[in-house]
Structure 1
Amino acid sequence: MEFKDEENGVMYKDEEEKKKLGHLRDIVEKQDPACKDIDDLTLRRFLRARDLDVDKASAMLMKYLKWRRIFVPNGSISASEITNQIAHNKMFMQGTDKKGCPVSVAFAARHFPSKGGTDELKRFMVFALDKLCSRIPDGQEKFTIIADFQEYGYSNTDVRGYVAALSILQIIFVENKRLQKTLLEEIDESQLPEIYGGKLQLVPIQDG
């Protein structure tokens, strides 16, 4: 049964998870003192992503931090670094699902690989994911992205872009006839975009 640590406000599955999180912190802080600034919720995400295997979780975290420092040297991606991607107006920040986690909508037909290239697409993905992650409420770890493939064609095909997306996102395909029903199982009508039968207008990711 889950319990909340009143000192740091983090929910744990059990005492074993809390103990392993402390062990994980000891390991990563010894490898990189800057890890002292990483909160327990972030550490818990990496720990759970590796099924509470502390060694695998620490290796994963260190690899991520190394990549992040190289790819995002300033700590975040600014809109000025992804002007081509933003100009396509292809991703939107919506409301929340029934657990309070953020929802986003991405239109595949508005993606053109010849505009900006793979590097800018990767920066755009980091920009968007950072936006989504910043809205995840305490105690939650997930967000939802609705990928809309209507009117998708050859000019939108981007194999390298898909490889980059698949490496960091869990993608679930739903038939159009089941789309609204499936979305309403997870997202309240008031938080669902109008184009899917809800009541919320689309908000560009850069404005969210």
Structure 2
Amino acid sequence: MLVAESLSLERGGRQLFEDLSFSILPGQLVQLEGANGAGKTSLIRILAGLSRYGFQGEVSRHGGMLYLSHQSAVKSLLSPRENLSWHVSGEGQYSNAEIESALTSVGLYGYEDVPSHALSAGQHRRVNLARLYLSGSPLWLLDEPYTAIDASGVSALEALFAKHVTGGGAVLLTSHQRVDVNCPLVRLDLSAGVMS
């Protein structure tokens, strides 16, 4: 689904990573690891085609992709329903029932039409994560998906990741916390440049 060849990135006179090559196959969940400042967010933005920084190397993707940043992409003047209608408009048309089901899946039943500026940071994050329940993209690139999510929300996400991967999709995520999924997990250590 994705092939990265000889990726290198230098920023501020510091080499974040160099000559990094790997591939992500259907049925894989890959956790990108590394210390703060190692370049995890920069790498995932390169893989998503969103990097503003010059880098060397090549990235090729096969099939659709969904990218979720570590920052919530929720518009505060819109309701959760309106945010999801706006975000998913490029992927397909979803009914109100499908959007309500996605919001229910992330624990936001009853908040569908509340202005998002009245929601907490964790609820904003859940609105963003509801996109996963609507997405038909086979490849998910997720930067710190557990941010501002409680333990039950993390468990629900991990079950969703396992379902997506066992259904032939693939997930690459960054996280500082342990990923506990009921499917094979591959770790990519950005510091060492190796997959295990």
TM-score by length of 2: 0.27
TM-score by length of 1: 0.26
Larger of the two Rg values belongs to structure:
1
Q: Bigger relative contact order, structure 1 or 2, given CA contacts below 8 A and separation 6+?
A: 2
